[in-house]
Amino acid sequence: MNSFEIIADRVNLVRESLRELELDAFIVPHDDEHLGEYIPAEAERLAWVTGFTGSAGLAVLLIERAALFIDGRYTVQARLQAPGEIFEYHHLIDTPHLVWLADQLERGAKVGFDPRLHSLNWYREADALLRERGIELVQVTDNPIDRHWSDRPAPSKAPVILYGEELTGMSSTAKREQIAADLRRRGLDAALLTQAESINWLLNLRGRDVERLPVVLGFAVLYANSTLDFFVDSDKLECFPFTQHVGNDVSLHPIDNLGEVLTRLGEDGLKVQADPATANAWCQLTMEQAGATLVAGQDPTLRLKACKNEVELAGMRAAHQRDAVAMVRFLAWLDRLVESGETAGVDEGTLADRLESFRKASDLYVEPSFDTISALGPNAAMCHYHHSNGVPRPFGQDGIYLVDSGGQYLDGTTDITRTVCVGEVDEEQKAMFTRVMQGHIALDQARFPRGTAGIQLDVLARMPLWRAGFNYDHGTGHGVGHFLSVHEGPQRIAPKGSMEPLQPGMVLSNEPGYYRENAFGIRCENLVVVSESDEQGEVPMLRFERLTYVPFDTRLIDRALLSPDEFRWINEYHAEVRRRLAPQLDGADLAWLEQATALL
Amino acid sequence: MNSFEIIADRVNLVRESLRELELDAFIVPHDDEHLGEYIPAEAERLAWVTGFTGSAGLAVLLIERAALFIDGRYTVQARLQAPGEIFEYHHLIDTPHLVWLADQLERGAKVGFDPRLHSLNWYREADALLRERGIELVQVTDNPIDRHWSDRPAPSKAPVILYGEELTGMSSTAKREQIAADLRRRGLDAALLTQAESINWLLNLRGRDVERLPVVLGFAVLYANSTLDFFVDSDKLECFPFTQHVGNDVSLHPIDNLGEVLTRLGEDGLKVQADPATANAWCQLTMEQAGATLVAGQDPTLRLKACKNEVELAGMRAAHQRDAVAMVRFLAWLDRLVESGETAGVDEGTLADRLESFRKASDLYVEPSFDTISALGPNAAMCHYHHSNGVPRPFGQDGIYLVDSGGQYLDGTTDITRTVCVGEVDEEQKAMFTRVMQGHIALDQARFPRGTAGIQLDVLARMPLWRAGFNYDHGTGHGVGHFLSVHEGPQRIAPKGSMEPLQPGMVLSNEPGYYRENAFGIRCENLVVVSESDEQGEVPMLRFERLTYVPFDTRLIDRALLSPDEFRWINEYHAEVRRRLAPQLDGADLAWLEQATALL
């Protein structure tokens, strides 16, 4: 069968199940039951039934029609992968899937959904919207895709990593006690935890169940007496002194027992906190229907996890030092490549692989922290470009190369973007690069009192672009985890949705950019950590301590646009890069570092 | 009787009424039934019963105790005015009055309140909080203060000002049609309007019912068919072609008929929009109890009123030109006064009066737009200082004078703060003034795309202070009305509560400051209007067009701290001040302007 026939066959199988179940439609989200950013291969239901492998999207299958809803990043990829004979394509935001779906159906129709794969908020909104149109939303726990997915990959059996206090700086018991005390203060009996990052942080565990996200998958219920029920494939824990590691008030349960325990919480009439935006509907409805009182609230680990302690920060600093050496070796190699002219066979993919080979030189390197964006020329204008979604662009025809990459190291997570000159660049490109750098510098130099939120600082990174009539269509900074997800909340620096006050220990990216469609793209990204500052004034201030020390490409700078303060920032930053990295480099790499960090 | 005896007598009279009404307590807010910032003399119930004349506060009278709740501005004044033998003093925020009150009372107690003087939001919160403690909140429409206030001033009989299209740029009919169309789109039958500014703007009226706020007081209901019921003292309209001015779909009613009409709306089962934060509880409860469906929503005039049209802006610009001439004459006079040394008898009060005398030279000047803050030396460190709350400080002993003032002109409203050198200043004071100016300049020079809210821009005005470890404890910019309130929403530039996107035509202040307790205060304030910008880039940008052109005192600037761009801004601003004002000045005033605007 060709790929069209494979998808057609799968869609038909699901439609047969719909008829059996007397359903008129079934909704297939990209999410798994943890509703996180990264999902394991066995949860790629959307890809199985549509062919579309993007990291976000949702399909609606009706008996006669089907539609795929994707965002702007994936308009091209979706058309290449999901057959147009079967699927119509819609933009997730412009055409809300529920509104579209309601328009296809008559009153009395029934729509199936798997309550483990949607948030409670989604469920409540969907139920209200469809009910108003006389359509019934039906929970289907026997997912028709799972029923027909015969060659479904087996879930990972990778053993967990017991992540010790020498890396976490705080025992799991201490973390649980702190959060349990807060539950008690708020009169709550328990908190449901469904996000993999939260549970792994709380139990001082890591794992290899998902690519890019070093976690073991599971669920947990933390009680106000600081005991915890952990639902996990216990095969992954066998070879370890698990109880000794997490403390003996953690009880292990097979994942299949989750429903039973949640039902018991309900029968006991407990008051349970859960996050209706991030926890799946099934968990919460199971508790509620059994008699629990649900208290909507943000995952209670988020703020504690976001504010790294000194041990975690020491790991982050060490990982960044290692990562900087790999980046510099790559950038030096790249310059030599350009100089040599021997670029035959080099493309975006080989560049990304070469960069990873330098990272792999470290024993502590585990994997990339996300899929490397290795983008030449016009491809860099697509913020979420990935060379494997099409044909990687060959090297040699473009002036600018953008590489956004990061590593998962056992002691920390990195994320860095450098935009480098690999050919001819014009004055306009230099001017735009310089404005992006000016924004980066302005944010880097900020001082701010406690209570300041990311939304207040975002403008600093944009004003040099705004004053010239340009902008970029993404946030300026995301939170970063400690050997966890490279995207972590609640901290953020962006024009919207970033009201969380920045606190000491929070790690964030500083990554303004500029993108000219079909021409070029620029992004300058360091990671920073919120720290106490030492001004002599009256109000204690916070500042950003830099984690990333890798040269920015001064060949792309238009000096005429820089203020004296900006000149000084670049020179001081480069002097510090040299000071930190020179002892770990030699030969041609050291020579490269010296010229790349020379005084402007 | 002395002032203590007068207050004691009044409190006793109110307590007698409480006993008659079988109430254990009565709440007296500063607000009147419009819940606005300014209230007429006949609504000063809080002052009548406590002696305290501040612009915000609330008293709670129990049978045996009484408490006055004020904010940080009024801690001194409250103690001077409200007798400590009768009132205990609490901070409005630190000690919420409802919590304090509930702690004083037993279960079964009854608390009276006048539902015309509290918002629906206040009522709902108070009722829930007291009910949980077993305390009943009782509506008292026969206010005990009104009953005993024998020498209560009569309400104003000042005739309305029919404010023509040559000043408003839009007929009342067109305004009503635009808002009514929005009500229809949203499936609503009517909107209740209770804010004086909204009603006066909508009907193209002004009046003299309240000091500082040029409005006629009343209530209005706007219907989805764009007809309007206006509740007002019709004596104020008699001498004018009122119907011709507002259109014949406006019906006049005595204010006393408001309840009857609101009841009818309820009986007709209408869906009525009202703002539970700004409309009084009585109006909304009356409608609801009669059967209306209340739809909570912001006053529908706010956004339209905030975005001034070209005619309103022309008036604002003309008013600012006139106001600038008055300010320059005052500042020139002040410098000559300092030079002459003949400052005997001069104090903060005489300075404020002298400033107003220059404004009064204009035929279009009506009154101050707020009580002038005329503050010498340490008094300027109190943001809301007023010389008449104590003894005005004599001139001659301080280095710095801060004057924050504004005028209501028939064609616009002004608000300006200048901080000037009137004696010896030290390097530290100059450094702080310079940092405040740097913040002012940075905000002034901002460019920003549509959709940007004030919360995003606020940081620009603070960063020069933050980077030195200083801050100021107030917002950076408030909205300003057009011959209406000098404080107008929804636009605002502040670290909190300013999520409203800035739109062309919105007028705002740009007023960073710095305050050193017991020493000095600095504030640099211009008004600006949001305008389209003309950058050549890709994204249309907005910018701030300045309305205020009056010299800043360059004697207070530490040049060593200024960047070349900041030098240029100051010189260009002063050149423009000179260009605009020189033709209207002569003699010593013109000479002063020339040196005050000389190149830095």
Question: Under an 8 Å CB criterion, which residues of B touch A?
Answer: 445-449, 451-452, 455-460, 463, 465-471, 495, 533, 535-541, 563-565
**pLDDT in the model for residue A70:** 94
* Nearest residue of chain B to residue A428 (CA atoms): B537
Residue A96: band (very low, low, confident or very high) from pLDDT cuts 50, 70, 90 = very high
Q: What are phi and psi of A405, to 5 degrees?
A: -150, 170
Residue B379 pLDDT exceeds 90: yes
CB-CB under 8 Å, B495 with A456: yes
Helix axes A427-444, A564-581, angle to 10 degrees: 80
A469:B539 CB<8 A: yes
Tens digits of per-residue pLDDT, A550-568?
Answer: 999 999 999 999 999 999 9
- Tokens 């077993």 correspond to B134
Mutate which: A441, A467, A533, vs B, most B CBs within 10 A: A467
Identify the bridge partners of residue A421 per DSSP, sorted by sequence position: A400
In this model, does residue B389 exceed pLDDT 80?
no
Above pLDDT 90, what percent of chain A? 92
Q: Note the pLDDT of residue A130.
A: 96
Q: What pLDDT was estimated at residue A313?
A: 98
**CB–CB of B180/B226 below 8 Å?**
yes
What's the pLDDT tens digit per position in A207-245? 999 999 999 999 999 999 999 999 999 889 876 688 888
Question: Which residues in chain A have Cβ-Cβ distances shorter than 8 Å to B463?
Answer: 446-447, 460
Looking at residue B240, what is its pLDDT?
65
Residues comprising chain A, all counted = 600
Cα A392-A401-A472 angle, rounded to 5 deg? 105
Residue A497 pLDDT: 87
Nearest CB neighbour to B539, from listed A447, A471, A540: A471
Q: What is the mean pLDDT of residues A517-522?
A: 95
* A471 interaction partners in chain B (CB closer than 8 Å): 449, 538-539
What is the sign, positive or negative, of the torsion defined by CA atoms of B440, B444, B445, B449? positive
Please answer yes or no on whether A466 and B459 come within 8 Å at the CB atom: no
The tens digit of pLDDT for each residue in A270-292 reads: 999 999 999 999 999 999 999 99
Minimum distance, in Å, between the CA of residue B531 and any CA atom of chain A: 14
Scored b (16 or more CB within 10 A) or e, B418-440 reads bbbbbeebeeebbbbbbbbbbbb
User: pLDDT digits over B201-246, tens only?
Assistant: 999 999 999 999 999 999 999 999 999 999 999 889 876 688 888 8
Answer yes or no: is pLDDT of A384 > 90.
no
Longest dimension (CA), chain B: 75
Contact yes or no for A539 and B495 at CB 8 A: no
Looking at residue A385, what is its pLDDT?
85
Residue A545: phi and psi, rounded to 5, are -90, 130
Per-residue confidence (pLDDT) for residue A550, from 0 to 100: 98
Quick: pLDDT tens for B6-20: 999 999 999 999 999
* Joined tokens for residue B473: 């404890």
Nearest CA in chain B to A462: B448
Residue of chain A nearest B432, judged by CA positions:
A537
In chain A, which residue's Cα lies nearest the Cα of B444?
A467
CA nearest to A451 within chain B: B495
Polymer length in residues for chain B: 600
- Please write the tens of the pLDDT for every residue from B414-443: 999 999 999 999 999 999 999 999 999 999
Which among B456, B457, B493, B518 is the top mutation candidate for probing chain A, defined by the most A β-carbons within 10 Å of its own β-carbon? B456
From B467's Cα to the closest Cα of chain A, the distance in A is 5
CB within 8 Å of A230: residues ≥ 6 apart: A199, A203, A218, A219, A220, A246, A250, A251, A252, A253
Q: Which of A80, A76, A75 is nearest to A91 (CA)?
A: A75
Predicted local distance difference test score (pLDDT) of residue A419: 98
Edge to edge, the sheet with strand B373-376 lists B373-376, B400-405, B416-421
Let me know: does B478 contact B507? Beta carbons within 8 Å: no
Task: Give me the domains of chain A, ranges plus CATH numbers.
Answer: 3-148 (3.40.350.10), 161-304 (3.40.350.10), 307-594 (3.90.230.10)
Q: Mind giving me the DSSP string for A35-68?
A: --S---GGG-HHHHHH----SS-EEEEESS-EEE
Task: Answer whether A537 sits within 8 Å of B468, measured CB to CB.
Answer: yes
> pLDDT band at A76, cuts 50/70/90?
confident
For the segment B35-59, the average pLDDT, to the nearest whole number, is 94
Interface mutation vs chain B, best among A444, A452, A458, A466, most B CBs within 10 Å: A466
Q: Which residues contact A341 (CB under 8 A, 6 or more apart)?
A: none
- Distance CA(B471)–CA(B453), nearest Å, equals 21
Residues from chain B that touch A456, judged by Cβ atoms under 8 A, are 455-456, 458-459, 495
Confidence (pLDDT) at B538: 94
In angstroms, the CA A399 to CA A382 distance is: 16
Angstroms from B448 CA to nearest CA on chain A: 6
A452 to B495: CB separation less than 8 angstroms, yes or no: yes
Q: Which residue of B has its CA nearest to A457?
A: B459
Residue B73, pLDDT score: 78
Q: Residue A389 pLDDT more than 80?
A: no
CB atoms within 10 A of CB B565: 12
CA distance B195 to A547: 53
Report pLDDT digits (tens) over B268-306: 999 999 999 999 999 999 999 999 999 999 999 999 999
Q: Given an 8 Å threshold on Cβ–Cβ distance, is B539 in contact with A463?
A: no
ipTM: 0.91
Tell me whether residues B535 and A447 touch, CB distance under 8 A: no
CB contact under 8 A, B447 and A466: yes
Position B427 scores a pLDDT of 97
User: How close does chain B come to A435, measured CA to CA in Å?
Assistant: 13
DSSP-derived secondary structure for B553-574: -GGG--GGG--HHHHHHHHHHH
On the question of pLDDT at B593 being above 70, the answer is yes
Q: How far apart are CA B129 and CA B122, in angstroms?
A: 11
pLDDT digits (tens, 9 = 90+) for B166-186: 999 999 999 999 999 999 999
Chain B positions touching A497 (Cβ under 8 A) are: none
pLDDT, tens digit, for every residue of A400-416?
Answer: 999 999 999 999 999 99
Check pLDDT > 90 for residue A9. Answer: yes
pLDDT confidence of residue B239:
62
**pLDDT of A262 strictly over 90:** yes
| pLDDT number for residue A74 | 84
- With an 8 Å Cβ cutoff, the interface of chain A facing chain B consists of 445-449, 451-452, 455-460, 463, 465-471, 495, 533, 535-541, 563-565
Shortest alpha-carbon distance between residue B460 and chain A (Å): 8
Q: What is d(CA A192, CA A95) in angstroms, rounded to the nearest whole number?
A: 33
What is B493-504 written as a DSSP string?
A: ESSSS--SBP-T
Residue-level pLDDT at A443: 98
Structure tokens at A320: 């960044």
The residue of chain A with its CA nearest to that of B456 is A456
In terms of CA atoms, which chain B residue is nearest residue A452?
B495
**C-alpha to C-alpha distances, B501 to A496, B58, B490, B512, nearest whole angstrom:** 12, 33, 9, 20
Q: Give the pLDDT score at B535.
A: 86
From the list A451, A465, A539, the residue facing B469 with the nearest CB is: A539
Q: What is residue A240's predicted lDDT score, i.e. its pLDDT?
A: 65
- Would you state the pLDDT for residue A325? 98
pLDDT bracket for residue A383 (50, 70, 90) = confident
Contact A495 B460 (CB under 8 A): no
Amino acid at residue number A66: A
Which chain B residues contact residue A447 at CB under 8 A? Answer: 463, 466-467, 469
User: What residue has token string 């662009």?
Assistant: A393
Q: Which pLDDT does position B385 carry in this prediction? A: 85
